Amino acid sequence: MLLCTRDPSVVEAVEVSAATQQIELRVVADAAELRAAWPAAVVRLLGVDAASRWGAVGPGEAYVVGGPAAELTRCSAELSLPVLPLPDESGRLAAVLAGSARGPTRGGRVLALVGASGGLGVSTLAASLALLAARSGTSAGVVDLAPASGGLDLLLGAETVEGVRWPDLALARGELGDLRPLLPQVADVALLAQARGVGPPPSGDAVDAVVSALAASTDLTVLDSGRSGAPRGVDQTLLVVGADVRSVAAAQMLDPELRPSAFVARSGPGRRVPAAVMSRTLGLECAGEIGHDKALPRLAEMGLPPLPGPARRFRRDVAALLRWLLDA
């Protein structure tokens, strides 16, 4: 782990977390040392004092650490990096370090889908990507992180299938082991759904623990993040954007820390903005286009999974998006 700062209080706080998890820490104090050590570091931390002096970091994930909150926010905005406040009262730094220590055991890819606005079918797309991946022989899971979404189990007609749901894992922390045998299974897809009207939403620690566990035992884990930001531990974030002016404008107003890999254009009646125009406006690559398929609402009303079935155009579009993801 690499830390760049001259603030002794930040060094001490990070040293404690690193020592607790038996992680080697290297502390550097200037830009030249940081540039030399940057490429090989698994976890990279910049103190607020260093971030203020450092104009451009190298490629790869990093975090701004320390305080106060106003300085963290300013540095985060300037460098487009997430923050880890110190002291680490929420345990976020500890979770990042624990994730780095477990990194080599993780095998699968984690994909988060985030909707730029409502009514774009993010949940349907998340479930369909997992279903199609499973049909091709890829082990897949789908996780419902969208608050007040009604539950992915309803979408997949699995509300009566036995298995744990989020209330059972609300207090999960750390390393959980293989969750797949405990979760409801739909067409060989492991499903973790919200429960309707039962308890608070899962904590950040619970989400981190569950995502890490599924990534270790599943080739592809798809997160239905709704309109919320993607959690930590995500390999790719796809922004689902309606091909209309309001949805594109909403996408431009999202939290800059989201940093999506690409976007998916959701076209159909009233959504006719060309994907190329959306790409130029958003500054993102278009991973694929999902068109309107009138069979989807009928399937939803009958409680049938979106795939396979009569939604042939939708299936074709999802298959093209899945190929893009696997090739990326």
- Is residue 55 scored above 60 in pLDDT? no
Instruction: Give the C-alpha separation, 41 to 37, whole Å.
Output: 7
Band the pLDDT of 127: cuts 50, 70, 90: very high
Q: Which domains does the chain have, with CATH numbers?
A: 2-103 (3.40.50.2300), 107-327 (3.40.50.300)
Query: Taking residues 142-168, what's their average pLDDT?
Result: 86
HSE (side-chain half, CA atoms, 13 Å) at 224 = 29
- Predicted pLDDT of residue 107: 65
Query: Taking residues 109-138, what's their average pLDDT?
Result: 93
- Is residue 176 scored above 80 in pLDDT? no
- Is residue 34 scored above 90 in pLDDT? no
Band the pLDDT of 105: cuts 50, 70, 90: very low
Span 250-259, pLDDT tens digits:
999 988 778 8
Query: Taking residues 246-268, what's their average pLDDT?
Result: 92
First and final C-alpha spacing in the chain: 27
Residue pair 277/270 in contact (Cβ under 8 Å)? The answer is no
Residue pair 214/195 in contact (Cβ under 8 Å)? The answer is no
Closest by alpha carbon to 233, among 214, 255, 256?
214
- Predicted pLDDT of residue 99: 64
- Is residue 104 scored above 60 in pLDDT? no
Span 190-243, pLDDT tens digits:
999 987 766 667 888 888 888 988 998 899 999 999 887 778 778 999 999 999
Diameter over CA atoms, the chain: 63
SS3 191: strand
Exposed/middle/buried for 68, CB within 10 Å: 0-12, 13-18, 19+? exposed
- Is residue 89 scored above 50 in pLDDT? yes
SS3 265: strand
- Is residue 37 scored above 80 in pLDDT? no
Band the pLDDT of 22: cuts 50, 70, 90: confident
- Predicted pLDDT of residue 328: 72
- Predicted pLDDT of residue 324: 94
Structure tokens at 107: 């095998």
Place of tokens 């035992």: 217
